[in-house]
């Protein structure tokens, strides 16, 4: 098995076209391997589908002109696809693929793929005869596909590790978004449909380091007011801060972890109950209702014995101008379901004793016993 071949030259060597081509091929191969294996493929910058309102002069119908903005994508073969300027989507190209479909509001996928275009030689012919192309334009093509073809993106397989830069047998598809089509025109453009969305380029790394001493993680390329951020600072006072960007570009801390492990939060805290603590909830419930668990306690923790419940119920006796009402039953079963029955006797209404569902005030305490180590 042969690894990558690096061209070498020496004085007096006669350079053939293959030697010069090998120099270019070696650099291209190294670049695509890095892009394919050290990064995740997808849109690196730009390439958004944008719309401009238009009116059909014949029918007066409103529609939109859809354009692909300039940008850069890296496909799954490691190849860069550069769109140097905005491109207006062709309605004729769309009709050629999907024009036979009936009316539908479902969005159609739009793809970008790489395309090599040989450029004719502009200089004098060679001594050996006719000159071949001296340049190859690394261009692109915008493709329309059928409804549902966006799922093809996930099925694409990258080439082998040592594969040389070459056009794949099947064009690698980079999803740009979706367009809607009504009455012979585009009517909208959206980035996601049928639970499939645009894929953006990423990086594969086990270590990410910052040279400035502060590493920020945010959800947008540029900080925006109200957007979340995670900042790891290694300056004089190392700490980890989660917060929201302010209009000034600074991060308003919502959670801070100090070097000594102290945790400071701006809001409330909820989660699993810790050893030795008690959580509680209270309220009123009627006959047949299931009592709630305190916040932070799960049914699984109660079922396997990690958390013990202590339930207290007090029947609510409604006021009455005549007669007598007493609780016949006020209990809670193993499923925390309330059983409350009230028994009443009213001499003025007759000798019969009646029984009806009632309500209780409840208190549920959840406890975890402290360990011998205090943890």
Query: In this predicted model, what pLDDT tens digit does every residue of 132-183 receive, in sequence order?
Result: 677 888 899 999 999 999 999 999 999 888 887 776 667 899 999 999 999 8
Residue 178 within a domain: yes
> 337 and 283, same structural domain?
yes
pLDDT at 187: 96
Q: Which two tokens stand for residue 177?
A: 């978004």
Burial of 367 (0-12, 13-18, 19+ CB in 10 A): middle
- Say whether pLDDT at 328 is over 80: yes
pLDDT at 82: 97
> 192 and 108, same structural domain?
yes
**Residue 42 contacts residue 202 (beta carbons within 8 Å):** yes
Sole residue written with tokens 């093509």: 141
Residues 6+ apart with CB under 8 A from 158: 36, 41, 76, 77
**Residue 216 contacts residue 229 (beta carbons within 8 Å):** yes
**Residue 130 contacts residue 209 (beta carbons within 8 Å):** no
Residue 250 within a domain: yes
Task: Give the distance, in angstroms, between the CA of residue 188 and the centroid of all CA atoms in the same chain.
Answer: 23
Q: Which residues of 109-136 are buried (b: 16+ CB within 10 A; e: fewer)?
A: bbbbbbeeeeeeeeeeeeeeeeeeeeee
CA distance 358 to 247: 55
Residues 6+ apart with CB under 8 A from 230: 216, 217, 218, 240, 241, 242
CA distance 360 to 375: 36
Domain boundary among 216, 234, 265: 265
What average pLDDT does the segment 66-91 reach? 96
pLDDT at 374: 45
Residue 5 within a domain: no
- Say whether pLDDT at 122 is over 70: no
**Residue 42 contacts residue 174 (beta carbons within 8 Å):** yes
> 173 and 108, same structural domain?
yes
> 217 and 156, same structural domain?
no
For residue 185, what pLDDT band results from cuts at 50, 70 and 90? very high
Residue 372 within a domain: no
CA 294-291-329 angle, to 5 degrees, is 140
Supply the DSSP symbol for 290: B
CA distance 87 to 49: 10
Which one, of 300, 314, 316, 284, lies nearest residue 366 by Cα? 300
Residue 272 within a domain: no
Q: Which two tokens stand for residue 207?
A: 């270590």
Expressed as residue numbers, the domain containing 170 is 17-124+131-202
What average pLDDT does the segment 283-303 reach? 91
Q: Which two tokens stand for residue 7?
A: 């061209």
Number of helical (H) and strand (E) elements in the chain, helices listed first:
4, 25
Q: Which two tokens stand for residue 346?
A: 């009213």
**Residue 290 contacts residue 333 (beta carbons within 8 Å):** no
> 78 and 55, same structural domain?
yes
> 338 and 324, same structural domain?
yes
> 52 and 70, same structural domain?
yes
> 176 and 84, same structural domain?
yes
- Say whether pLDDT at 372 is over 60: no
For residue 352, what pLDDT band results from cuts at 50, 70 and 90? confident
CA distance 85 to 81: 12
31-49 tens-digit pLDDT: 999 999 999 999 999 999 9
> 97 and 135, same structural domain?
yes
> What total number of domains does the chain contain?
3
Q: Which two tokens stand for residue 74?
A: 């890296």
Max mean pLDDT among 71-80, 269-278, 318-327 falls in: 71-80
């Amino acid at each position: 098995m042969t690894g990558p071949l690096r061209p070498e030259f020496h004085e007096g060597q006669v350079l053939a076209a293959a030697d010069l081509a090998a120099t270019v091929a070696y650099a291209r191969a190294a670049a695509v391997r890095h892009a394919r294996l050290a990064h995740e493929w997808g849109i690196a910058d730009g390439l958004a589908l944008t719309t401009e309102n238009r009116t059909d002069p014949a029918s007066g119908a409103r529609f939109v002109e859809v354009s692909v903005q300039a940008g850069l994508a890296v496909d799954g073969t490691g190849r860069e696809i550069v769109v140097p300027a905005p491109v207006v989507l062709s309605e004729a190209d769309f009709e050629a693929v999907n024009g036979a479909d009936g009316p539908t509001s479902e969005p159609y996928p739009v793809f970008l793929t790489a395309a090599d275009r040989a450029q004719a030689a502009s200089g004098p012919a060679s001594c050996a005869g006719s000159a071949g192309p001296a340049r190859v334009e690394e261009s692109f093509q915008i493709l329309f596909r059928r409804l549902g073809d966006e799922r093809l993106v996930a099925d694409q397989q990258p080439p082998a590790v040592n594969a040389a830069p070459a056009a794949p047998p099947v064009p690698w598809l980079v999803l740009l978004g979706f367009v809607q089509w009504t009455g012979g025109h585009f009517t909208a453009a959206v980035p996601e449909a049928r639970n499939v969305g645009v894929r953006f380029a990423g990086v594969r790394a086990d270590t990410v380091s910052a040279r400035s001493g502060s590493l920020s993680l945010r959800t947008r390329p540029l900080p925006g007011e109200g957007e979340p951020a995670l900042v790891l600072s290694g300056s004089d006072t190392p700490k980890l801060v989660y917060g929201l960007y302010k209009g000034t570009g600074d991060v308003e801390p919502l959670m801070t972890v100090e070097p000594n492990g102290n945790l400071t939060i701006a809001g409330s805290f909820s989660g699993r109950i810790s050893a030795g603590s008690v959580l509680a909830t209270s309220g009123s419930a009627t006959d047949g209702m299931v009592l709630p668990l305190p916040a932070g306690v799960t049914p699984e923790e109660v079922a396997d014995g990690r958390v013990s419940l202590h339930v207290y119920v007090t029947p609510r006796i409604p006021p009455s101008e005549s007669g007598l009402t007493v609780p016949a039953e006020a209990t809670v079963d193993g499923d925390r379901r309330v059983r409350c029955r009230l028994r009443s006797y009213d001499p003025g209404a007759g000798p019969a004793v009646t029984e009806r569902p009632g309500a209780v005030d409840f208190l549920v305490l959840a406890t975890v016993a402290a360990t011998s180590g205090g943890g």
